[in-house]
Amino acid sequence: MSFLIDGFNLIYKFPEYEALMYENDLVGAREGLLSLLKKYEKITGKHIRIVFDGKKERSIEIKNEKCGTIDVYYSLEYSADHLIKQFIKKDINPRSKTVITSDKDIIVYVTRHRARVKTSEEFANEVQKTIREWEEALVPEKEVDPSLSSEEIAYWEKLFTHRKKS
């Protein structure tokens, strides 16, 4: 399974990236989202293709690039909605794609082509939960305040004292 993501629609579902957008830090917000998605893709093994409206930067007119294994597309003179619809329309097996967007027009279009849909809100929650659980699994369990009772200390002292005498 693979994901086709409406980039700016998803950015606004993560408060830290939304804040960057309101500060006019488009590059920071986009790079933050891509970094998060790379981690998610690595954990799940699901391929990601993401489409952003407009250009990468004002003077850069590239249509697509790779960010790790993520395929990143820029719509240039078109809208991201248009590109997403074109990807689904030209796909031989749109049923294998899940489109991530909360845009009702895109949802209606891709549903007609039998692609799956997940709202940006649902996907943002899934990404955060998946990464959080993965990171928690990496941290070994340990006691907050490990301490030994006086009986345990006596046991260990006795054990080590006997070893020294032998």
Tokens 């294998």 identify what position? 96
Which structural domain, as residue segments, surrounds residue 105? 2-140
- The count of domains in the chain is 1
Residue 36: which of 146, 123, 97, 143 has the closest Cα? 123
**53 three-state secondary structure:** coil
Q: Average pLDDT for residues 84-111, to the nearest whole number?
A: 94
* pLDDT at residue 141 in the model: 66
Does some domain include residue 153?
no
* pLDDT at residue 88 in the model: 94
pTM of the predicted model as reported, rounded to 2 decimal places = 0.79
DSSP 90-129: H-S-GGGEEEE---HHHHHHHHHTT-EEE-HHHHHHHHHH
Does some domain include residue 116?
yes
Does some domain include residue 158?
no
Which domain CATH number covers 6? 3.40.50
Q: What is the DSSP letter of 57?
A: B
How do 64-67 and 2-6 pair as beta strands? unpaired
Does some domain include residue 164?
no
